[in-house]
Homo-oligomer: A and B are copies of this chain.
Amino acid sequence: MDVVADSAEQSRADSTRARLLDAAVAAFAERGFHGTTTRDIAAAAGLSPAALYVHHRSKEELLYLISRSGHEHVLALVREAVASSADPATALRRVVHDFVVTHARDHTTTRVVNYELAALSPAHLAEIREIRHQIEQAIRQLVEAGVRVGVFETPDPRMAAAALLSLGVDVGRWYRDGGDLVPEYIAARYAEMALRIVGAGSPDAGPG
């Protein structure tokens, strides 16, 4: 029993687990949780149907693992971006930019993360909702902070925060690979629009 090897080197089981998760992400994103069979996932990972249950408890557990790591990734990204500058406008630009880049580049994962919540078990859904709440909180607080110090101007920070989230989340719905829009370009334009939404004055006043 080699504890070091189990965690340091990628054990064979670990890489098979990961392959199953990748296959599940692709399948759930394309056909949805209920439109995907465990046989689909196993076959895409190059395994027999039974192998899925060697590495995971259930089909729902796959969704939960995908959803949790996806949400944790987004939460970390948002918190880092919020903390990256003392100026709310600079921080917001970075939040929206990074949020949008992730939702475009990882649109396959983010589609599962944002649109398959209803298939989670009640307990798992509650846990995921808590992370979502923290993501929303972080963005709303940033907008409110900007309004408080006078760099943002908006009649309802809560609605502005909802709109900013919508912009990013929805990119995961419409973005396609291989189009003429690269994630960074979309993110740059959306960050500019975000500053307009919150009524940030000078940093976005004139055309570049």
Interface residues of A (CB under 8 A from B): 30-35, 114-115, 118-119, 153, 155-156, 159-160, 162-163, 165-167, 169-171, 173-174, 186, 189-190, 192-193, 196-197, 199, 207-208
Contacts and interface: CB of A to CB of B under 8 A. Distances in A.
A155 to B, nearest CB: 6
A162 B114 CA distance: 19
A171 B166 contact: yes
A119 B170 contact: no
A195 to B, nearest CB: 9
A18 B54 CA distance: 46
Q: Which of A159, A165, A193, A197 has the most C-beta atoms of chain B within 10 angstroms of its own C-beta?
A: A193
B166 A174 contact: yes
Nearest to A160: B193
A185 to B, nearest CB: 8
Contacts of A173: 114-115, 166, 169
Given A32-B34, A169-B173, A189 B155 contact: yes
A56 B111 CA distance: 31
Given A190-B159, A207-B155, A115 B115 contact: yes
8 contacts: A32-B34, A32-B119, A34-B34, A35-B118, A114-B173, A153-B207, A160-B193, A166-B166
